[in-house]
Amino acid sequence: MKNLILIVLAALTATLSSCSKDEAFDLSETIFIEDSYYPGLPIYSEWGYNTFGAYIDRAPFVSNTSDLPVKIYVNGDTMHFILKGRVDGTEAVLTFHLQGYSPATNFDLVSLDKTFINLKDPGRSATLKIGNVTTELTIIEGELEFKRVQRLILDNEPTRVIMSGYFQLKTFLNGEPAAISNGRFDLGIGYGNFFNF
């Protein structure tokens, strides 16, 4: 497994070093490498693989190749961090609403580097949409960590920001306690998925 990861990292490094700005769109593709310790979830990485995953109770909620896995929009003083994927074959969207965070551009997201957010603090909330049902989550406990936020530079110009980190929370779904656990993300944020209005 270690050899596979090293081979993928070497190939990605070679690809990134030979990319031009015209090829930057290819960096929005999803690379899914399954975590051998958490089946169905992607490994944690900081390479801009455009993946995320978590368990909703025991079901994997993961990004896929057909949906844009992340969007961020800022409205007023609140940043909305949206993860879109599938759980048990059904479209699902998990959104973190973070009051007090209002980056003007995607490049301003680097201010979140090494930021730990307690989801129980005032001004924090989350919603989960599975299929056509949206639930405002009552958070029993939870955290969102932006472990590393870095700029990706091609041809000496920044092209996007790579955000990597972890999340987990306990809540209620369908009237009973539920956990969203082992959440991890490694996502590229550029012109097409960052909005400020």
What pLDDT score was predicted for residue 28?
Answer: 73
Please give the model's pTM, rounded to 2 decimal places: 0.86
Domain residue extents for the chain: 2-196
- Positions of the chain with pLDDT under 50: 4-11, 14-25
- 39-78: pLDDT as tens digits: 999 999 999 999 999 999 999 999 998 889 999 999 999 9
Residues 6+ apart with CB under 8 A from 20: 154, 155
Helices (H), the chain: 2-18
Give the CA distances from residue 50 to residues 24, 42, 161, in Å, rounded to whole numbers and listed in that order: 13, 10, 11
The pLDDT of residue 154 = 85
For residue range 103-119, list pLDDT tens digits in order: 999 999 999 999 999 99
Q: Are 97 and 73 in contact (CB under 8 A)?
A: no
Query: Could you please report the per-residue DSSP string of 158-171?
Result: EEEEEEEEEEEEEE
pLDDT at 155: 85
CB neighbourhood size of 132 (10 A): 7
Please tell me what DSSP assigns to residue 34: B
Given a contact cutoff of 8 angstroms between Cβ atoms, the answer to whether 107 and 151 are in contact is yes
